[in-house]
Amino acid sequence: MYLYNTTIIAEMDRAEAIRAYLTEQLAAMESDVDISLLEMVDSPHEGITYCVQLRTKTTAEIHTFRETHLATIQTKLEALHSGKVLFFDSTMKFINR
C-alpha cells in the first residue's frame, strides 16, 4: 500500500480560492479514488499548507493520478495564482499494513 502526498503551500491572500478549487476538483473525481484533502495545522511555512493524499495499492495508480488529475490541477493553479502557490510531492510505502 502506498501514500502519495502533494503538498501545496498557498500565500494567505490566495488560500481560500485555492482551497475552493481543490475541493471542487477532488469532488469531481471518480468515487473509487481514495483521496483526501487536508490542511496542515501549525505549519512551519508562511501561508496555508494543504495536502492532497492518495492511498493506493500500486505505484502505477500514482502515475495515472498524477497524469490524469494532478497535472491539470497544478497547471491551473499556477496560471491563476502565479508566484503565490508552491507544490512538492512524495511517495511513501506503508510497512505496517
Alpha helices in the chain, H assignment, sequence order: 15-27, 59-65, 71-80
pLDDT in tens, 15-25: 999 999 999 99
Beta-bridged to residue 49, according to DSSP, are 9
- CATH number, domain of 44, equals 3.30.70.100
pLDDT in tens, 66-89: 998 899 999 999 999 999 999 999
The one-character DSSP state at 47 is S
* Domain span including residue 56: 2-93
pTM for this model (two decimals): 0.88
Domains contained in the chain, number:
1
Burial label for 50, CB within 10 Å (0-12, 13-18, 19+), is buried
CB contact set of 85 (below 8 Å; sequence gap of 6+): 8, 9, 10, 11, 14, 18, 77, 78
